[in-house]
Amino acid sequence: MSTNYLLKRVDFIFKNENDWEDVLKKSITRPPQELINELISSELKGRGGAGFPTGLKWKVASEEKSDVKYVICNADEGEPGTFKDREILSRVPFKVLTAIAICGYVIGAKKGYIYLRGEYYFLQPELNKAISEFEYFCKEINFDFSSSVRVNGGKKRRTKKQTSISFIIRLHG
């Protein structure tokens, strides 16, 4: 197995060495299964407590038959004492949006949501600005994908699973 993947580099997240526009353009010209295979080979894992393999998650989602699918970026930051979601969204929002869009391409979703915890409401204006620029670029390259931010307004703490289920119900209700 090759270890020459950018996804394995520790400093990949915060360095602005890659051009999100080129990454998106190149990614959507590749077959979805090729991107899934690359993710599986990279051994990239989710940042939550379970560390679930991202490639496997995308593979399963891509195989699910549905007319409508969504990509949800759960930035609830439920782990005590962590601020990774806030830092990533505030410092490199276009990397997050690009990843959401590529995931959408791979699994067949045309809409992405960034779910923010209520305390991070202050990130919403800058994220919305980034989303507008990102969606404009998507239209330029004829890629049908949109994103939006949803902020949890409740004060009651829920588990991540409860939060995600409640969020999905609100999408369809």
pLDDT tens track for 114-125: 999 888 899 999
* CATH architecture of the domain with range 19-172: 3-Layer(aba) Sandwich (3.40)
Choose among 135, 141, 137: nearest CA to 112: 135
Say which DSSP state 81 is in: T
Choose among 59, 50, 142: nearest CA to 103: 59
How many degrees, rounded to 5, is the angle at CA 56 between CA 139 and CA 75?
60
What is the reported pTM? Answer: 0.81
User: Tell me: the pLDDT tens digits for 14-48?
Assistant: 666 558 999 999 999 999 999 999 999 999 887 66
Domain ranges of the chain: 19-172
d(CA 74, CA 97): 13
Q: In this structure, are residues 115 and 73 in contact, taking their beta carbons and an 8 Å threshold?
A: yes
Query: What does the pLDDT read at residue 165?
Result: 56
Residue 50, both tokens: 């379970």
24 Rama class: left (phi>0) / alpha (psi -120 to 50) / beta: alpha
User: Tell me: the pLDDT tens digits for 44-74?
Assistant: 887 666 788 999 999 999 999 999 999 999 8
